[in-house]
Amino acid sequence: MSQRMFVVSTTVVALLLWGAQVPQAGALQLYQTEIPNGDRVVRGGQAWPGVGHQVPQGSGDRNAFGVAFQSAGHRWSNGLCNADSDGDGFTNGQELGDPSCTWAKGATPERSTGVSHPGFSDSTPAVQPATSASSSTPTSSTSTSSPGAAKQSQSVAISVVLVLAFSLMVVG
Ligand SMILES: [Ca+2]
């Protein structure tokens, strides 16, 4: 295989890999706007843009919240808001900053700090559970980490493609 052939095929593979990421990112952004603070969900200090999935970047198996979200028709409903999908004592609304379940798509959530993950019981918001009489110190889950992890990996992919395209021009 000539050097040029190698560069061409590598570029094609890189483009295909990058292209495979794009629809997924689009779906994430689509669903993020369907739930309050969808772009601010954090679990254990890590941003979790793929809120409904077992892995932060989405795709693959759904977590408990993802299953409930799908059952609700990928919409924020009263039932979905009041449910405690991960069974940690906090409703999905409390975890996502809509404790009163009044949020509508496009509106500013009642609370945009201390957002936790509604699909994992090890992630709880910085508020007391509504049903608990416990006086334990609430978990301080800060939401300061960047939700731009997906964009970052996308930028890396774009850079790789650009570098390969440049080498193609040089070799050719
Ligand atoms: Ca919960």
Give every residue of the chain whose pLDDT is below 50, as ranges.
Answer: 132-138, 140-145
Helices marked H in the chain — which ranges?
A: 3-32, 64-71, 78-82, 92-96, 149-171
pLDDT of residue 160: 81
Cα–Cα distance, 35 to 123 (Å, whole number): 17
Q: What total of structural domains would you count in the chain?
A: 1
Evaluate whether 54 touches 63 at the Cβ level (below 8 Å). yes
Compute, in angstroms, the gap from residue 84 CA to the centroid of ligand 1. Answer: 4
pLDDT of residue 8: 77
Compute, in angstroms, the gap from residue 89 CA to the centroid of ligand 1. Answer: 6
pLDDT of residue 162: 84
pLDDT of residue 1: 58
Ion ligand 1: residues, Cβ under 5 Å: 84, 86, 88, 90
Look up residue 112 and give its amino acid. S
The set of residues, in sequence order, having a beta carbon less than 8 Å from that of 81 and lying 6+ positions away, is: 91, 92, 93, 98, 101, 103
pLDDT of residue 127: 66
> pTM score, two decimals?
0.61
pLDDT of residue 70: 96
> 3-state DSSP: the chain helix, strand, coil percent, rounded to 5?
40, 5, 55
Cα–Cα distance, 129 to 133 (Å, whole number): 8
Compute, in angstroms, the gap from residue 157 CA to the centroid of ligand 1. Answer: 35
pLDDT of residue 135: 43
pLDDT of residue 129: 58
Determine the structural domain holding residue 8 and report its residue range: 3-171
Compute, in angstroms, the gap from residue 54 CA to the centroid of ligand 1. Answer: 15
The three-class DSSP label of residue 43 is: strand
